[in-house]
Amino acid sequence: MRFLLRLASLVALAAAVIAGTIDSIQSVAASAVIMTPMSDAWQDVSPDTLTSLQSALSYYIHPRFYAFIFQWLMLQPAFAVFLVIALLLWMIGYKKPQVSGRFIA
């Protein structure tokens, strides 16, 4: 299970790097800071899954959850959202080093 979490973390980190690279290229081309919101990035990749997730969240969870948290999350920069997801998955899948080691008493 840790392997899958770390693999998902790696995929999210790669998506964050790709989104950050795209934003930096657009920023240089426009001579202004451009950060793509998560909703626009998701809409470009797969609009059907975005609409189905929106309808499922508003129907099954609670409409206020969709109104406050999900819409706030969709307004954040895509690279930042992917970085936070990568960090959380890595922290969940982290394996602590053993205490017994070379300098054990």
Look at residue 77 in the predicted model and tell me its pLDDT. 94
Domain ranges of the chain: 1-35+77-94, 37-76
Count of residues for the chain? 105
Look at residue 64 in the predicted model and tell me its pLDDT. 78
Could you list the mean pLDDT of each consecutive 10-residue stretch along the chain, which spans 105 residues? Answer: 93 95 94 92 90 84 79 91 95 80 63
Q: Which two tokens stand for residue 19?
A: 């989104």
Distance, CA of 39 to CA of 77 (rounded, Å): 9
Answer left, alpha or beta for residue 31, where phi above 0 means left and psi between -120 and 50 means alpha: left
